[in-house]
């Protein structure tokens, strides 16, 4: 049986890497008040990515149990 901490660990690592990616893209493609930069759009994409990840984890959990 798989250790449940591995799933949590990989999710946390993904969000940490994504957060640093947002900071990096925000530095590479800066924005101003009228034109948001690339980091802003990556931060907005984090919401649907999180919802999709939660959905897949729930479906996978119920298929295993």
Cβ atoms of residues 53 and 62 within 8 Å: no
Q: What's the pLDDT band for 8 if we cut at 50, 70, 90?
A: confident
CA atoms within 13 A on the CB side of 60: 9
Residues 6 or more apart whose Cβ sits within 8 Å of residue 28 = 38
**Structural domain tally of the chain?**
1
CA separation for the pair 30, 37 (Å, rounded): 5
Whole-model pTM: value is: 0.77
Q: Is residue 41 part of a domain?
A: yes
Q: Is residue 59 part of a domain?
A: yes
Q: Is residue 60 part of a domain?
A: yes
Taking only the tens place, the pLDDT of each residue in 17-56 is 999 999 999 999 888 888 888 888 998 999 999 999 889 8
Q: Is residue 12 part of a domain?
A: no
User: Across the chain, which distance is largest between two alpha carbons, in Å?
Assistant: 52
Q: Is residue 56 part of a domain?
A: yes
Residue numbers of the domain that contains 45: 37-64
Mean pLDDT for 54-60 is 89
Q: Is residue 48 part of a domain?
A: yes
């Amino acid at each position: 049986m798989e250790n449940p901490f591995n799933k949590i660990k990989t999710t946390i690592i993904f969000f940490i890497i994504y957060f640093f990616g947002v900071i990096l893209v925000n530095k590479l493609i800066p924005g101003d008040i009228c034109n948001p930069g690339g980091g802003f759009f990556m931060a907005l994409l984090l919401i649907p990515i999180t919802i999709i990840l939660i959905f897949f984890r729930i479906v996978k959990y119920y298929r295993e149990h």
